[in-house]
Amino acid sequence: MTEQQRASLAGPAGPDVRPEQAVEAVRAWIEAHVPAPWREAAERGGPREVRAVRTPEEYRSWYPVFGASGLVAPTWNVEHGGLGWKRPVAAAVERLLRPYHLPRLNPLGLNLVAPALYAHGRPEQRDRFLGPIARGEEVWCQLFSEPGSGSDLASLSTRAELDGDTWVVTGQKVWTTWADRADFGVLLARTDPDLPKHQGISYLLIEMRQPGIEVRPLPHIGGETEFFEVFFDGARVPDSHRIGEAGNGWRVAQATLSGERQMVSGSGSGGVDRIGGVSASHLVRLARRRTEAGLPGGWDHPATRERIVWLWCEERTRAWTNQRIRDRLAGNLPPGPESSIGKVHGSELNQRIQEMAADLLGGDAVAWPGSASTPGEYWDGMPAEVRGLLRSRANTIEGGTTEVNKNVIAERVLGLPKDFDPYRGRPWRELPRS
């Protein structure tokens, strides 16, 4: 870390900092570095008011200030872009920051890559990658799923063969978020096909902007493009960018998969509150809007209120449960298999919230201006609630299907026997594949 970066930290660093000491320092940092209109909006009405006065472009332009503060990942070591704080100190500061709505812009790097680096990376690898991740200088994607290896990820067939001190990669990945903008990706590749499928896999950090990599968009039902196919034809990875031992990538990947499940576990997860759609609090506003318009089934209807309050209570419970899981992150430990519990409940809860939002729109959820005139682009003018409903249908698939995560809960949390696998222990090259 340079002296200039060290001087821009938001407060005293180290494990001995007290919560009140950190809060006071960060309060001063907010006054000095957060633009006045954002501060005033936050103090007036929290995140909703901040979003009303600040564009995403303005926030991205300002983000390097946040990245240099150490507050993006305050429990990380100072040399890795953090402040070295203990979890209670970081939690106290996070409560202070919440009204100012300062989201992390590199969630895949922070939540998927960093746990693997801390758990399995070499010191020089952590020194190279963690700082740029915390500061948002290098964007990451995850290259795990394949057309024939989704739920059964360990059956993946993308190959990496060692050529001197460089791995040469050939194959295909799919459903890769941010592949179009990523500087690096975490890649699982088959490096020894003669071993059983969970062995012979290596975990590589691949530079995305190089010859031999082609990225193709995959638009989804809401008309947006956030997923991509990635094709590898002779792309290269130096062996120094391998995390863990060659052939031991499945073990390394568990840190990334646990981080992914935690990131998409809903409210309070520390990653994203929901992928697709609105919060339970928004349901209250929609219901009140119906009542004000004189429409049935609004906030004045007892059954509507009961349904919304029940969803709101579940969302709060989800947040509290996720906070307990996040406590495992103290000391930079991966969240563990318990994160699958949050993933299963959080994804299904979000789907029910988005279904309720669409119900409250009534006929507007079925047709909207422009939807009939341009049937090939039906998403033009689509209400945000409908877009959220459509997007949420993927919640029980992405980040590990609900069925897979229930197996994780059964086997790793409850200690139940593993499913019978007639091919267990056989070399990967002998397994039937689609």
Indicate which residues carry an active-site annotation.
260
| DSSP structural state of residue 167 | E
Q: How far apart are CA 112 and CA 400, in angstroms?
A: 14
- Residue 142's nearest CA partner among 40, 56, 252 is 252
Burial, 238: exposed, middle or buried (Cβ in 10 Å; 0-12, 13-18, 19+)? middle
Q: What angle do CA 177, 379, 143 make, to 5 degrees?
A: 10
Q: How far apart are CA 165 and CA 245, in angstroms?
A: 14
Q: Are 385 and 358 in contact, with CB atoms under 8 Å apart?
A: yes
Strands (E), 45-183: 140-143, 159-163, 166-173
The two tokens of residue 112 are 């998927």
SS3 21: helix
Q: How far apart are CA 308 and CA 290, in angstroms?
A: 14
